Amino acid sequence: MEFFERFAIPNPSIAIYASMVAIGLTVFAIIAGLSYFKKWGYLWREWLTTVDHKRIGIMYLFSALIMLFRGGVDAIMMRVQLAVPDNKLLDAQHYNEIFSTHGVIMVMFMAMPFIFAFMNFVVPLQIGARDVAFPRLNALSFWLFFFGAMLFNISFVVGGSPDAGWTSYFPLAGNEFSPSVGTNYYMIAIQISGIGSLMTGINMITTIFKMRAPGMTLMKMPMFTWSVLVTNLIIVTVFPVITVALAMGTMDRLFGTYFFTTTNGGMDMLWANLFWVWGHPEVYILILPAFGLYSEIISTFSGRNLYGYKSMVASMVIISALACMVWAHHFFTMGQGALANSFFSITTMMIAVPTGVKIFNWLFTLWKGKIRYTVPMLYSLGFIPLFVIGGMTGVMLAMSAADYQYHNTMFLVAHFHNTIIPGVVFAMLAGLTYYWPKMFGFMLNERIGNWAFWFLSIGFCLAFFPMYITGLDGQARRMYTYSEATGYGPLNMVSFVGAGIMAISFALIVYNIYYSIRYSPRNISADPWDARSLEWATHTPVPEYNFVIEPQVASSEAFWDAKKKGHELFSGKPEKIHMPNNSGLPFIMSAIFFIWGFSMIFSLWIPVIISTIAIFACMLYRSFEKDHGHYISVEEIDETEIKLRGVN
Amino acid sequence: MKVKSALLLLIFTIATVLTGCEPLMVLDPKGPQARRQAHDIILSIGIMSFIVIVVFAILIYVLIKYRESRQSPDYEPPHIEGNKWVEILCVGIPIIIVTYFSIVSVQSNYIVEAKPKGYEDKAPLVIYASSSDWKWHFSYPEENIETVNYLYIPTDRPIEFKLYSYGPITSFWIPQLGGQKYAMSDMITTLHLAADEPGELMGRNANFSGKGFAENMFNVTAMSEKDFDKWVKDVMKTAKPLTKEEFNKLLKPGHYGQMTFTGTHLGFNPPPEHHHSGAATEKNSNSDESNMDMNMDMDMSDHQNHE
Amino acid sequence: MKVDHSLPLEYSTKQNGRNIFGFWVFLAAEIMLFATLFTSYFTLEHRVGHGSSGAEIFEMTPVVIETLILLTSSFTVGLAVHAMRIGNKKAMAAFFVITLFLGLGFLGFEIDEFMTYIHEGASLQTSAFTAILMTTLGTHGAHVTFGLFWGTAILMQIKKNGLTTETANKSFIFSLYWHFLDVVWIFIFSFIYLKGMM
C-alpha cells in the first residue's frame, strides 16, 4: 500500500474529507442517473462527440459556470478567514492552497472557457459561416481544457493542491520549498489546457480570415468578431511562452534540471519573466472579448450604431501590441533598475490611451440613443464607471517608484479584481443573458437578473474598495492572517460582507437559470432584443447548418440594415449543405491526456510512456482516417426550415 | 447610476472613518523616499480622479437624457460614425496626462534608486538584509554586528540595504521609509532608504514565501546617531559572537524571535556578489546590480567565477 | 467538395486553403516557442555551475554534418513538392523517401552528439546551461522525430490513395513543417554552436 501513499493529502482537514465524500457521491449520482435514464447514448452522440461550434460553446459555458462556483467557494473561505484578526478557521497551509487554486481556477478554468464559450457560439454566426475552420480541432480544444480542468480540480483530494500562488514563483515552487505534488498539478494541468487554448487560437484566426460571408470585409465585421480576432492573435503569440515555462518548471520538479533553481546556474528570475511575458497578455486575452461583447450590447440597447468603428478596431490592435511590451510591471521591484522600470512604466501607462478611446466611444454610442435598461445593458453600464476606477488604479500602479509601495499589497489585489470583475465577469454575465435566448430558446428572467446585477455591483464595491486602503496601510497580499494591532480588522470585515453579498448574487444567477428553465415562455422571437448583427438573423434554436444560404453582407450592421433598410440578406436557392461528422477521437485523446497528466504528476513512468504512445497513436489514426463528413439534402433543409419558421 | 455614485461616496466615507482617522502607513512617510512615493501617489489620485469624474459625468448625463422611457416611441437614433475633433480631444488629453505621469515616473525611478535627497553627502550605512524561511538576518559589516528580526538604524544617515535571500524570493519592505525590493538568492539588490526622525516602524516581507510568510515581519527603530552608536557599543559588550554552527541552525525554517550577535555571517557565508567587500560606496549607488551579471556561481563554498 | 482546378492541387478546395493558412498560423506559434527557448538560452548560456561551457563541449564536425544533412533534406522535400505540382507521383514519393532518410540520418548524428556530451559529464541535469542547451536542441530533435513519423504516414497514404486533393494538401503542409525545422536549425547552428565556439 506504500504505492498509494503518494496520493494521500499531505495536509488534510475536515473540509477536504467532506469534499472527497461529496465528489464521490456526485460522480456516483451522475453515473447512476445517466444509466437509469438511459442517456449514455444521447450523451455520447450529442455532446461528447459533437464538433458543432454551438454545442462546444455551450459546454464551455457550463464548465465556466461550474468553475466559477469552485473559485467562488475558495474566495468565500479566504474572506471568512480574513474577516477578523488572528482567525483560526484556516491555517497558513490551507489558506495558501486556497488562494493558489482560486487564482488558477478563476483565470484559467473560469474566465478562459467563458470567453471561449462566446467565441465559439457567436463568431461563426456573426460572420455568416457554418462552423469554424477546423471543427474537429475545436472539439479537441474543449476536451483538453475540460480534462486539464478536471485534473487540476482533483488536486485537493488526491495528492495535495498547489500552494505557491497562481504565479508559482521559483524557487518557492521548486521541490525544496514545495515538496508536495501540488505544484506538479499546476505545471501539468495548465499545460494540457493551454494546448487547447493554442488550438483555439489557430482555429479562430483561420475562421475569421477565411470564412466570412461575401461582402463582409474586415472593416465590416461586427466588433465582437474583431475583438476575437485580436485576442486570438495574442493567444497564438504568447501561449507558446507559457508552454516552455511550464515545461521547464516540470523538468525542474520531475527531472532534476536546474532552470529555476538556486544552485548550478539556475535563475529564478527567468520564471518570473517567462510567466509574465505570457501572463500580462493573458489578462488582455480576457478583457478584449469582454470589450467586444460590450460593444455589441451597448450598441444594441442604445438603438444606435457603435460610435467610432475605426478607432475601436485601432484601439484593440494598439492595446494588444502594447500588452506584449509591459510584462515587467509585474515585478518592478525585482531589481532591474531605473532604466528598465522607466521603459515598462511608460508602456504600461500608454495602454490607458487606447482603452480610454474605447470608453469614450461607448459613452458616445449612448449619446442620442434610445437606451433600454435590460440586464445585459445594466452590466455594460455598471462596467463603465467601475472599470474606469480599476484603470485609474492601474495608471497609479504603473508609476514604478510608487509601485514599490503598492506591490504585493492588497492595493494590487483590489486593482486587478477591479478590472477583472467589472471588466470580464460583468461581460460574461451580460453575454450569458444576451445570448441565452439564442442558445436555448427562452429568456432568463429579467427581474431576478436585475437583482443579481445590483447585488453583484454593490457586493463587489464593498468587498474590494476597502482593500485599496488596507493595502496602503501595509497589509500584504497572500497573508493568511493579521494581528489586531495592525488595525486591518474593520475593513476586512467590510470586505467579508461584500463577498457575502456577491455570493448572494451568484446564487441568484443560478436560481435564475433554474427559474427560467421552469417558467420562461418558449415561443420567443428569433430576435428578442431587436439586435443588429448576423447571429440574430438565424432561427431559434439555431439549426445545425446555421444559415440555409450564405448571407450577403453590405455593411457592418448587416442584420440591422436588412430589418430597417430592406437590404436582402439571403438570396438564391438552397443547395445541399456539407457538414462535418461527429467524432469520439477528441474526447478519447483528451481522456488519455488526463491519464498522461496524472501519471506525470505522480511520476508513474510506465503509464506516462504508454499514454504518450497512445496520444500519438490517436494522431496517427486521425491522419489515416477517411472521414469526409456528410451532406444535408435540400429536402431535409426545407423540412427543418418549415419547422423552425413555424416556431418563430 | 445616481444611487451607485452616492453609494461609492458613502463607502469611501465609511472607509476613511473606519481607518480611525490615522493616516495610512504609505501616506505617512517618515523618510525622503517614502515622501517622494507618497507625493506620486497623491498626484496620480488627483489627476486620475479628474478623468474618472469626467467619465461619470458623461455617463450619468447620457443615461438620464437618452433613456427610452423619456423619448417618443418613434424616435430613430441617428447614425453617427465619428467626429474628428471629439476624438482628438479624447486621445489628446490622455496623451498629455500620460506624458506628464511618465516624466514624473522616470524622475521618481532615479530618485528611489539613488541616495535619498538631502543625504547625498553623508556616507551610507551599509546593512546586508538576508531572508531565510521566515526570518530576516541583518548584518552590519562596518559595525561587525548582526541582528535577527529587528533593525536599529540611525537617522541623519542614508542607509544602503543590500538584499538577498537564502531561499524563496522575498521582498524587504519598510512602508514608512520607502518602497520594497526583492531579495533573491542569485544576486544582491540595493535599496536606498533614510529615516528623517526617530521612531518605531513596521517592516515586513511583502513577497509570499510559504507557510510562515504572514509572520515574516521585523521591527525597525530609528534613533539619533548618538543613540545608535551607543547601541552598537552595547552590543559589542554584551552579545555573543555568531558562529557558523549557530548561523546554520538559524537558516533552518522556523520563526525565531529577535536575536543579537557580534560578528556577521558575511565572512563564512558570503552573499551572492562578485565583490566580497563590505562597503558598497565605491560601486555606483545610483543603480543597483541591475544589468544582471550572469557569470555568477551561486555555490557559496567556492568563490570561482565561470566566464 | 468543390475543386478549383485553376489552383495547385494542395490549394484546390476551400478546406485545403484553410488547412494551409491554419498551418502558417501554427508555424507562427512555433516561432514563438523557439523564440522563447532561444531567449532562455541566451539568458542561461553562461550559467554553467560546476559543469562545462559550450566552448568546451561543442565540436564542429558533427554539427557541420548535421547541418549539411538537414539542409539537403530541405532541398529534397522542395523537389518532392515540385514533382507533386507537375503530377509526378513516383518522383515525389522518391524525394519524400530521401528526405525522411536524411532526417533519420540527422537524428542519428544528433543522438550521437548527445551521448558524447553525456559521457563528457554534460547531461541535462548538470547545470542551467546544459538544461537549456539540451532542451532547445531536444525540442528541435523531437520535432524532427515527429516529422519522420508524420511524413511516413503521409507517404503511406500517397501509396494507397495516390495524389488527391487531401494527400497533396498534407504533403505540402509537411513540406512547410520541414522547411521550418530547417530554418530553426540555421538559428541553432548560428546562435548556439557557432556563437558558443567563438
Residue of C nearest to B300 (CA): C49
Q: Which pLDDT value is given to residue B12?
A: 60
Of A643, A634, A431, which is closest to residue A543 (Cα–Cα)? A643
> Using one digit for the tens of pLDDT, what is the confidence trace for C78-120?
999 999 999 999 999 999 999 999 999 999 999 999 999 999 9
Examine residue C186 and state whether it is found in any structural domain, yes or no.
Answer: yes
Name every residue in C having a CB less than 8 A away from some CB of A. Answer: 1, 14, 17-18, 21-22, 25-26, 28-30, 32-33, 35-37, 40, 43-44, 47-51, 124-129, 131-132, 135, 149-150, 153-154, 156-157, 170
> Using one digit for the tens of pLDDT, what is the confidence trace for B76-101?
898 988 888 988 999 999 999 999 99
> Using one digit for the tens of pLDDT, what is the confidence trace for A21-41?
988 999 999 999 999 999 999
Contact yes or no for A302 and B66 at CB 8 A: yes
> pLDDT band at C2, cuts 50/70/90?
confident
Q: Which pLDDT value is given to residue B82?
A: 82
> Using one digit for the tens of pLDDT, what is the confidence trace for B224-250?
999 999 999 999 999 999 999 999 999
Q: Which pLDDT value is given to residue B295?
A: 39
> pLDDT band at B156, cuts 50/70/90?
confident
Is residue B171 less than 8 Å (CB to CB) from chain A? yes
The mean pLDDT value for A262-268 works out to 93
Q: Which domain holds residue C95?
A: 9-197
- Please tell me the distance from the alpha carbon of residue B272 to that of residue B184, in angstroms, as a whole number: 9
> Using one digit for the tens of pLDDT, what is the confidence trace for A524-543?
999 999 999 999 999 989 99
Q: Which pLDDT value is given to residue B273?
A: 76
> Using one digit for the tens of pLDDT, what is the confidence trace for B113-151?
999 988 888 899 999 999 999 999 999 999 999 999 999
Examine residue A440 and state whether it is found in any structural domain, yes or no.
Answer: no
Q: Which pLDDT value is given to residue A1?
A: 73
Residue B205 backbone dihedrals phi, psi, to 5 degrees: -80, 125
Q: Which pLDDT value is given to residue C194?
A: 95
What is the pTM (predicted TM-score) of this model? 0.94
| pLDDT above 80: residue C130 | yes
* Residue C58: CB atoms within 10 Å: 19
Just give the CATH number of B2-112: 1.10.287
Examine residue A616 and state whether it is found in any structural domain, yes or no.
Answer: no
Is residue C44 less than 8 Å (CB to CB) from chain B? yes
Q: What is the DSSP letter of A371?
A: B
The mean pLDDT value for A206-225 works out to 96
Q: What is the DSSP string of B203-265?
A: EEE-S--STT-TT-EEEEEEE-HHHHHHHHHHHHHHSEEPPHHHHHHHHSSS----EEEES-S
Examine residue A636 and state whether it is found in any structural domain, yes or no.
Answer: no
Contact yes or no for C25 and A238 at CB 8 A: no
User: Higher confidence at residue B298 or residue A597?
Assistant: A597
Q: Which pLDDT value is given to residue A543?
A: 94
Contact status, residue B38 vs residue B29, Cβ threshold 8 Å: yes
Contact yes or no for B294 and C48 at CB 8 A: no
Number of structural domains found in chain A? 1
Interface partners of C (3+ CB pairs, < 8 Å)? Answer: A, B
The mean pLDDT value for A230-238 works out to 98
Examine residue C36 and state whether it is found in any structural domain, yes or no.
Answer: yes
> Using one digit for the tens of pLDDT, what is the confidence trace for B38-90?
999 999 999 999 999 999 999 999 999 999 888 888 888 989 888 889 889 99
Q: Which pLDDT value is given to residue B277?
A: 26
Contact yes or no for C46 and B306 at CB 8 A: yes
Contact yes or no for B295 and C46 at CB 8 A: yes
Q: Which pLDDT value is given to residue B9?
A: 62
Sign of CA dihedral B226, B228, B230, B233: negative
Residue of A nearest to B61 (CA): A367
Examine residue C1 and state whether it is found in any structural domain, yes or no.
Answer: no
Interface-testing mutation among B106, B110, B300, with chain A (most A C-beta atoms within 10 A): B106
CATH number of the domain bearing residue A78: 1.20.210.10
> How close does chain B come to C48, measured CA to CA in Å?
7
| pLDDT above 50: residue B297 | no
Contact status, residue B118 vs residue B106, Cβ threshold 8 Å: no
- In the stretch 343-362 of chain A, residues with CB closer than 8 A to chain B read 345-346, 349-350, 352-353, 356-357, 359-360
Examine residue A90 and state whether it is found in any structural domain, yes or no.
Answer: yes
> How close does chain C come to A503, measured CA to CA in Å?
39
Amino acid found at A419:
T
Q: Give chain C positions within 8 Å (CB) of A245.
A: 36
Which of B104-143 are b and which e, b meaning 16 or more Cβ less than 10 Å from the residue's Cβ?
A: bbbebbbbbbbbbeebeeeebbbbbbbbbbbbbbbbbbeb
Range ranked top by mean pLDDT from A47-51, A557-561, B8-12: A47-51
Which of A353-385 are b and which e, b meaning 16 or more Cβ less than 10 Å from the residue's Cβ?
A: bbbbbbbbbbbbbbbbbbbbebbbbbbbbbbbb
Contact yes or no for C46 and B299 at CB 8 A: no
| pLDDT above 70: residue B17 | no
**Alpha carbon of A226 to those of A259, A315, A433, A438, A533: distances in Å?**
39, 11, 21, 21, 13
Mean pLDDT of chain A: 95
Cβ-Cβ contacts under 8 Å between B and C: the total is 16
Q: Give chain A positions within 8 Å (CB) of C54.
A: none
Examine residue A119 and state whether it is found in any structural domain, yes or no.
Answer: yes
Q: Which domain holds residue A237?
A: 1-279
Instruction: Enumerate the H helices of A178-308 as residue ranges.
Output: 182-210, 223-254, 268-302
> How close does chain C come to B244, measured CA to CA in Å?
24
| pLDDT above 70: residue A117 | yes
Contact yes or no for A369 and B77 at CB 8 A: yes
Q: Which pLDDT value is given to residue B293?
A: 39
> Using one digit for the tens of pLDDT, what is the confidence trace for A126-173?
999 999 999 999 999 999 999 999 999 999 999 999 999 999 999 999
**Alpha carbon of A146 to those of A150, A228, A423, A515, A615: distances in Å?**
6, 21, 24, 27, 17
The mean pLDDT value for B248-262 works out to 93
- Please tell me the distance from the alpha carbon of residue A370 to that of residue A374, in angstroms, as a whole number: 12
Name every residue in B having a CB less than 8 A away from some CB of C. Answer: 294-299, 306-307
Examine residue C18 and state whether it is found in any structural domain, yes or no.
Answer: yes
Contact yes or no for B294 and C50 at CB 8 A: no
Is residue A388 less than 8 Å (CB to CB) from chain B? yes
- Please tell me the distance from the alpha carbon of residue A191 to that of residue C186, in angstroms, as a whole number: 28
* Residue C156: CB atoms within 10 Å: 12
Examine residue A423 and state whether it is found in any structural domain, yes or no.
Answer: no
CATH superfamily of B125-251: Cupredoxins -  blue copper proteins (2.60.40.420)
Q: Give chain A positions within 8 Å (CB) of C125.
A: 255-258
Contact yes or no for C128 and A238 at CB 8 A: no
Radius of gyration of chain A (CA): 25
> How close does chain C come to B185, measured CA to CA in Å?
14
Is residue B20 less than 8 Å (CB to CB) from chain A? yes
Number of structural domains found in chain C? 1
Q: Give chain C positions within 8 Å (CB) of B187.
A: none
Q: Which pLDDT value is given to residue B74?
A: 86
Examine residue C4 and state whether it is found in any structural domain, yes or no.
Answer: no
Query: In this prediction, does ipTM exceed 0.85?
Result: yes
Secondary structure element (H or E) that encloses residue A558, with its range: helix A558-565
Examine residue C2 and state whether it is found in any structural domain, yes or no.
Answer: no
| pLDDT above 70: residue B6 | no
| pLDDT above 70: residue B282 | no
Name every residue in A having a CB less than 8 A away from some CB of C. Answer: 133-134, 198, 201-203, 205-206, 209-211, 236-241, 243-245, 247-248, 251, 255-259, 261, 263-267, 270, 274, 277, 578, 616, 620, 623-624, 628
> How close does chain C come to A409, measured CA to CA in Å?
30
- Please tell me the distance from the alpha carbon of residue B176 to that of residue B24, in angstroms, as a whole number: 9
| pLDDT above 50: residue A68 | yes
| pLDDT above 60: residue B289 | no
Examine residue A455 and state whether it is found in any structural domain, yes or no.
Answer: no
- Where are the domains positioned within chain B? 2-112, 125-251
> pLDDT band at B7, cuts 50/70/90?
low
